[in-house]
Amino acid sequence: MPDTIVTGGEIPDNANEHCPGPESEDAGKADGCAGCPNQEICASQASGPDPDLPIIAERLSFVKHKILVLSGKGGVGKSTFTSQLAFALATDSSTEVGVVDVDVCGPSIPKIMGCEREQVHPAGVGWSPVFVQDNLGVMSIAFMLPDEESAVIWRGPKKNGMIKQFLRDVDWSSTADNGTLDYLLFDTPPGTSDEHLSVVQLLRESGITGAVIVTTPQEVALQDVRKEIDFCHKAKVPIIGVVENMSGFVCPGCKGESKIFYPTTGGAQKMCKDLGIPLLGSIPLDPSIGRACDFGSSFLDTCPESPAAKAYLDIITKIKQIVEP
Amino acid sequence: MSNHAEIGERLASVKHVVLVLSGKGGVGKSSCTVQLALSLVNQGHRVGVLDIDLCGPSIPRMLGVENYQIHQASSGWVPAYVDSDKQLSCMSIAFLLPSKDSSVVWRGPKKNAMIKLFLSDVYWGELDYLLIDTPPGTSDEHLAVVEYLQEWNPDGAVIITTPQAVALADVKKEINFCEKVGLPILGLVENMSGFVCPHCAECTNVFSTGGGEGLAKHLDISFLGRAPIDPNLVMLLEQEDKTLVPNVNDSEAAKEKTASIVETYQRCELSSIFSGIAKQLEETLGESATT
């Protein structure tokens, strides 16, 4: 059955009576661990507090806001939203922005942000991110793959190792002109698994500002998104709010409005009301968005008159207001 | 190794095992798995659907069995039956969760154990097809299912994509995964390929078009077909009552009722496309429809 998330040294609620603690040397291996629902997880992790956590905290100490973009459901537009948020934040040249793409199996960010063929190189103080603009840096495993068609067939521990390297070894200080990186955005894969657990655990000491959760209106998506919200609660990640993407379609021919992904159970609006979470806004489907992503350009720059562009900007303004009151 | 032998025993009564893969999330793996299953059942076959997307199990809601109370018989866990003739069955972690909002936050080893359990302990009985719906990516779940099935020679994988480049990039990786693990690729489906505006009948390529077919040609993979976006299908997969024929463009019209989702699906325009896809699949596997 589903386990409690082990995010720190604290004893989980569902642990056995004589739990040695998830970070003990005996975690998962002590006699008292037999039968505990978390035993396998504890035994498969290295014991003792992670020595890299303080290093990561140090690396990210000059980052003002760390925002995770999550969903639970695939294909709702997490990467699209992360990239447009990054582009929009970086239009102010005094705002320094970084994007970390932790979708190890399907890293879309480089393509969407127009830096697909780049490679990363180690600099003296760590890896240098790829710069899309002077004030916008990106890190993704895509930059390390020999070719774009190679599958990354990694089990959890190897993925976790890569994510840790991103956080520990990337030197963001080159993006931080004035000694501050204003925003570090994390694009995540769908689900509630290794990558999500790793990011939350690795950022435990340095702190997460919050999560923006992306969904589409239909129940099939909301079902997965409610699980993601449950994950955030379990992992104590603050939720900034929910974005409802692909919310309605405007025909470019006749301008008639129609729905493709029906909000049969009330869409994100009802879900947010039921769960007491802010709805940041709704973005309609515009084929130009997909085209912009395929060509690696900023949709907000290429199609500023689109109703979707206005929706994006309204949501981004709200996020800034919440995060920097 | 004893659990692998149990898997072999379960699969001995299954004629064909087909994985449905993508690489990219949200392209319609689950909805295509369901449509393929419904089409095969309509063609007279007995089909099981195994949902190994442990974090986001969509199949039960789509098939209308999300309230199924899982139980065991002496022969194993009993899957949920979708129709009264028991031609279509389904197993998913969704049936094991205390509530449908509960997240499954498991690392790899625990996910692998669950998948092994599904393959060794579910009593499917005689099946013509076992379709396995997978999560996006090329990771633990995919490695696990291929590893556990390898001894029993699964027939292969159907790959789902949407037309745009961002999706194709992930799908190329999935195809590379299949090659690396020796899983035959039975064909590729290009989903969400165009949307016909209900007001003016103009087709807009919301997620571009042709990319999937182009990729299949380029990689010499069988192109099984192209499916446009159909809001009536979306509605069918969403609505709780699967016996109501959806008609989203005419909400005033009286709702036609059918006996089960198998029949309702036949009223959706996409059923003719997936009927063709199912037939192609059967030909590839050396079978023919029983009706």
CA distance B102 to chain A (A): 5
* Res A240: pLDDT: 97
Which SS3 state, helix, strand or coil, does residue B286 take? Answer: coil
* Res A4: pLDDT: 38
Q: Testing the interface with A: which of B53, B140, B166 to mutate, by most A Cβ within 10 A? A: B166
**What residue in A sits closest to B200 (Cα-Cα)?**
A254
Around Cβ A102, how many Cβ atoms within 10 Å? Answer: 25
* Res B137: pLDDT: 86
pLDDT at A58 over 70: yes
Q: For the segment A31-50, what is each residue's pLDDT rounded down to a tens digit?
A: 777 777 777 667 766 556 77
Which SS3 state, helix, strand or coil, does residue B104 take? Answer: coil
Phi and psi (nearest 5°) for B111? -65, -40
Q: Whole-angstrom Cα distance, residue B227 to residue B34?
A: 14
C-beta separation of A198 from A160 below 8 A: yes
CA distance A191 to chain B (A): 5
Question: Do the chains contact at B202 and A157, CB–CB below 8 Å?
Answer: no
The residue type found at A261 is F
C-beta separation of B107 from B113 below 8 A: no
pLDDT at B50 over 70: yes
Q: Which residue has the tokens 């998948």?
A: B115
pLDDT at A312 over 50: yes
Chain A residues 261-280 with a CB less than 8 Å from chain B: 261-262, 264-265
Q: Whole-angstrom Cα distance, residue B92 to residue A14?
A: 24
Question: Do the chains contact at B200 and A251, CB–CB below 8 Å?
Answer: yes
* Interface contact A48, partner B, CB < 8 A: no
* Res A2: pLDDT: 34
Degrees, nearest 5: CA angle B179-B185-B187: 145
* Res A113: pLDDT: 93
Q: Testing the interface with B: which of A3, A5, A105, A262 to mutate, by most B Cβ within 10 A? A: A105
Contacts of B106 in chain A (CB under 8 A): 2-3, 41, 193
pLDDT at B175 over 70: yes
**What residue in A sits closest to B55 (Cα-Cα)?**
A191
Mean pLDDT score of chain B: 91
For the whole model, what pTM was predicted? 0.86
- Give the one of B24, B143, B202 whose C-beta lies nearest to A75's C-beta: B24
Q: For the segment B210-267, what is each residue's pLDDT rounded down to a tens digit?
A: 999 999 999 999 999 999 999 999 999 999 999 999 988 887 777 899 999 999 999 9
Contacts of B175 in chain A (CB under 8 A): 149
Q: Which tokens belong to B164?
A: 């745009």
Q: pLDDT confidence of A30, banded at 50, 70, 90? A: confident
* Res A3: pLDDT: 38
pLDDT at B289 over 60: no
Query: Can you tell me the mean pLDDT for A238-259?
Result: 89
Q: What percent of chain A has pLDDT above 70?
A: 90
pLDDT at B63 over 90: yes
Question: Do the chains contact at B108 and A156, CB–CB below 8 Å?
Answer: yes
**What residue in B sits closest to A197 (Cα-Cα)?**
B105
Helix ranges, B12-139 (H): 29-42, 59-63, 108-121
- Give the one of A150, A194, A259 whose C-beta lies nearest to B231's C-beta: A259
C-beta separation of A293 from A83 below 8 A: yes
* Interface contact B207, partner A, CB < 8 A: yes
* Res A178: pLDDT: 63
Chain B residues 212-251 with a CB less than 8 Å from chain A: 229, 231, 234-235, 237-239, 248
**CA dihedral in degrees (A33, A37, A39, A45; nearest 10)?**
-150
Q: pLDDT confidence of B98, banded at 50, 70, 90? A: confident
| Polymer length in residues for chain A | 325
Around Cβ B12, how many Cβ atoms within 10 Å? Answer: 9
Q: pLDDT confidence of B108, banded at 50, 70, 90? A: confident
* Res B104: pLDDT: 82
Question: Do the chains contact at A192 and B26, CB–CB below 8 Å?
Answer: no
Question: Do the chains contact at B200 and A191, CB–CB below 8 Å?
Answer: no
ipTM: 0.84
β-bridge mates for residue B47, sequence order: B88, B129
Mean pLDDT score of chain A: 86
Q: Which residue has the tokens 């998506």?
A: A221
Lowest-pLDDT range of A133-142, A187-196, B20-29, B195-204: B195-204
* Interface contact A2, partner B, CB < 8 A: yes
Contacts of B138 in chain A (CB under 8 A): 105, 151-153
- Which H or E run contains B209? none
Question: Do the chains contact at B136 and A220, CB–CB below 8 Å?
Answer: no
* Res A123: pLDDT: 72
